[in-house]
Chains A and B, each alone.
Chain A
Amino acid sequence: MKEIRLHGRGGQGVVLSAKILASAAIEEGRYAQAFPSFGPERRGAPVVAFCRISDEPVITREPILEPDIIVVLDPLILRTIPVKNGLKKGGLAVLNSCFPPEQAAERYGFTDCVLATVDANEISIRFLGSAITNMAMLGALLKAEPVVSLESVIAQIEKKMGRIADKNIAALKEAFEEVRVAEIVSA
């Protein structure tokens, strides 16, 4: 089972990206679960969403405390929210950051993990006209670790996003190309 925790802000589509990942896995015939950190929804406030993908039915109702993967949709929360909490040793962190992975690791104190960075703000503004970074970040995630196939995610975007699907698919693909991945060993 892969346990993925997504961090961002209300309005960036954090919950939707968890749902798209889980739906893509279910469409692939696997098992998955997606849910938000429960509570009132407030635009701009830090938000967490969770996604489990497995070859067996997912039974637990626990939040994800020790993720295999974290995805951080907003560069500014890296300094204010303890996004690294519980990330497994050797786990993957996918960050929205304009810095290359080695530099981001030093800046934000990541060690013993695989770090993937992409400037999702720039890509989202270019393709969507605003910094709604969720689909760009999914593109970066899928390149760093193909937890589901790019095609399955594209199918879900088409299903769930209607007339704005094309732009989001373009952002997804661009981030898939642009993401930089590096293994970060202990300092």
Chain B
Amino acid sequence: MGSKRVSLEVSEVCAEAVRLADVDVVAAYPITPQTHIAEVLSEMVADGVLDAEYINVESEHSAMSCCIGASAAGARSFTATSAQGLALMSEMLYIASGLRLPIVMALVTRTLSAPLSIWGDYSDIMSVRDCGWITLFAEDGQEVFDFTLQAFRIAEDERVLFPAMVCMDGFHLSHVLEPVDVISEEEARDFLPVYRPKYRLHPSDPVSMGCFAMPDYFSEIKKRQDEELKGSYPVILEVWREWEERFGRRYAPLMSYWVDDAEMILVIAGGYAGTARLAVEGMRKRGMKVGLVSWKLWRPFPLDDVREILGKAPLVLVVDRALSVGGAGGPIANEIRAAFYHEKVRPQVVSMVAGLSGRDVLQRDFEAMTKRAMELAERGEIPYYEMYGVRE
């Protein structure tokens, strides 16, 4: 039994990866556009093809609370949510990370209300940017499958022990049927052995979790949390190398295309990177020296990769599908600016906000944004950000 190609909706692909991860507990509350993942997993448990506890909870806050309890007891735990659901569980996200519990979550990215919107953008993930979870952005169904299985392996590594989330664009990925190569149960078991936690809540070997910290220790604990989350970086690369050896698919924190001689690099995360790649390919054919970065690893922030790859070009155009309201620009753009602030040689960074609430961004839009970024750089008038295509 080896890999086989299947045709599945990307939500089903995620559920299939969770089944192959042989999770012990799923606790989830349905919310558009995440619903299909929760539906398929509950069916799998009901049909007996996944031997797990499916906990029907009354809210996302409870979903994450159940995952925290289950994970603390040593169970491999999974949940999935979107937007308001993520906001409701955000209190518990920090606790999962602080308790160093290797929970895995699929975040089907969707815009945070108001105005009420069910469509996709990255406002939800950016709202929990600092919660201390390993965070991966998937570009297609194959990456959703691969990242979901990898997330368990990375999170449970004793050198890591952090929760991990895999983000996929609501609707633009979650509701698309496409071909995906899935691995066999044997291959999955080989790659991801049974979870044997180093620490767990068990009456025969009592430990304390969720302790109180006085001001005289809190800073030390937080510093260590930050250092150890950053310390997961080499483990992530190690797991990616192993994945490539086993299954032939290569990943990097920033997947880059045509960057070496680029005069401008376009940066984007998630599903729209595919359309952007076609746009950049087209511009290359017309002699424009444009490169592309499809962002995969958001936390830990790949500082060295950002400096090395984006430092190759004098101009960087960042397309953010989220807005820091009242802030200084798109969230990804701002982190790139911060990464370069102390560098002697640094690119100019143009921040464009586009694709909010599922608005389509077409190839011609990426071309227009490229042209606009070059104009702004030429004139030396780069604003904090521009919202592309907005009617004013």
Q: Which A positions have Cβ atoms within 8 angstroms of B?
A: 18-19, 22-23, 26-27, 31-36, 38-40, 58-63, 65
Give the distance in Å from the alpha carbon of A40 to the alpha carbon of B119 in the complex: 10
A35 touches B5 (CB 8 A): no
Query: In the complex, are the beta carbons of A59 and B275 less than 8 A apart?
Result: yes
Find A32's partner among B7, B32, B271, B275 (CB 8 Å cutoff).
Answer: B7
**Are B358 and A60 closer than 8 Å at their CB atoms?**
no
B171, CB-defined interface residue at 8 Å = yes
Contact of A19 among B177, B275, B278 (CB under 8 A): B177
Residues in B lying within 8 Å of A, measured CB to CB: 5-7, 9, 32-33, 118-120, 169, 171-173, 175-179, 271-272, 274-275, 277-278, 358, 360, 362-363
| B7 lies within 8 A of A26 (CB) | yes
Given A60-B363, A61-B172, are A31 and B119 also a contact pair (CB < 8 Å)? no
Query: Known: A60-B275, A60-B363, A62-B362. Is A36-B175 also a contact (CB below 8 A)?
Result: yes
A-B contact pairs, 22 of them (CB 8 A): A22-B7, A23-B7, A26-B6, A26-B179, A33-B176, A34-B176, A35-B171, A35-B177, A36-B175, A38-B33, A38-B119, A38-B120, A38-B172, A38-B175, A40-B32, A40-B118, A58-B178, A60-B275, A60-B278, A61-B169, A61-B172, A62-B362
Distance, CA A8 to CA B305, complexed state (A): 48
Question: B residues within 8 A CB of A23?
Answer: 7, 177
Chain B: minimal CB distance from A31 (Å):
6
In the complex, residue of chain B having the shortest beta-carbon distance to the beta carbon of A25: B7
Q: Which 6 A-B pairs have the closest CB atoms?
A: A38-B171, A26-B7, A23-B7, A59-B274, A35-B176, A34-B177
A33–B172 Cα distance when bound, in Å, is: 11
Measured between beta carbons, the chain B residues less than 8 angstroms from A60 are: 274-275, 278, 363
In the complex, A40→B33 CA distance in Å? Answer: 10
Q: Find out whether the CB atom of A27 lies under 8 angstroms from the CB atom of B7.
A: yes
Minimum CB–CB distance from B132 to chain A (whole Å) comes to: 30
A145 CB, min distance to chain B CBs, angstroms: 21
In the assembled complex, the Cα of A32 lies from the Cα of B179 at a distance in Å of 7
Given contacts A26-B5, A26-B6, 8 further A-B contacts (CB under 8 A): A34-B176, A38-B33, A38-B171, A39-B118, A60-B274, A60-B363, A61-B173, A61-B274
Q: Do B177 and A33 touch across chains, with their CB atoms under 8 A apart?
A: yes
How far, in Å, is A176 (CB) from chain B's closest CB?
A: 22
Chain B nearest Cβ from A134, distance in angstroms: 15
Q: Closest CB of chain A to B69's CB: distance in Å?
A: 34
Q: What is the minimal beta-carbon distance from A30 to any residue of chain B, in angstroms?
A: 9
Neighbouring A residues of B169 by C-beta, 8 Å: 61
Cα(A176)–Cα(B371), bound, Å: 49
By beta carbon, the residue of chain A nearest B271 is: A61
CB-based contact A62/B360 at 8 Å: yes
Q: How far is the CB of B184 from chain A (nearest CB, A)?
A: 19
How many Å lie between the Cα of A27 and that of B277 in the bound state?
26
A58 to B120, CA, bound (A): 21
Min CB gap B223→A, angstroms: 40
- In the assembled complex, how far is the CB of residue B218 from the closest CB belonging to chain A, in whole angstroms? 44
Q: Please, which residues of chain A bring their CB within 8 A of the CB of B275? A: 59-62
Contacts of A62 in B (CB 8 A): 275, 360, 362-363
CA distance A155 to B176 in the complex (A): 21
* CA A40 to CA B118, docked complex, whole Å: 8
A35 to chain B, nearest CB (A): 4
Bound-state Cα–Cα, A36 to B118, Å: 15
By beta carbon, the residue of chain A nearest B141 is A33
Q: Which residues of chain B are near A65, meaning CB under 8 Å?
A: 362
Residues of A within 8 A of B118 (CB): 39-40
Chain A nearest CB from B329 CB (Å) reads: 24
Cα A128 to Cα B6 in complex, Å, equals 29
* CA gap between A22 and B272 in the complex, in Å: 21
Q: A35-B177, A62-B275 are in contact. Are A19 and B9 (CB under 8 A)?
A: yes
* B317 → A minimal CB distance (Å): 18
Q: How far is the CA of A32 from the CA of B272 in the complex (A)?
A: 17
- Once the chains are docked, how many angstroms separate the CA of A34 from the CA of B118? 20
Closest residue on chain A to residue B176 by CB atoms: A35
* B119 and A39 within 8 A (CB): yes
CB within 8 Å for A63 and B360 given contacts A33-B177, A35-B176: yes
| Complex CA–CA separation, A31 to B277 (angstroms) | 18
Give the contacting residue for B277; candidates A40, A59, A63; CB below 8 A: A59
Cα distance A175–B9 in the bound complex, in angstroms: 28
Most B CB contacts (10 A, CB to CB) among A19, A35, A38 go to A38
For B179, the chain A residues whose CB sits under 8 A away are 26, 31-32
Q: A23-B7, A35-B176 are in contact. Are A61 and B272 (CB under 8 A)?
A: yes
* Shortest Cβ distance from residue A131 to the other chain B in the assembled complex, whole angstroms: 25
Given A59-B277, A60-B363, A35:B7 Cβ within 8 A: no
Q: How far is the CA of A36 from the CA of B362 in the complex (A)?
A: 17
Q: How far is the CA of A62 from the CA of B273 in the complex (A)?
A: 11
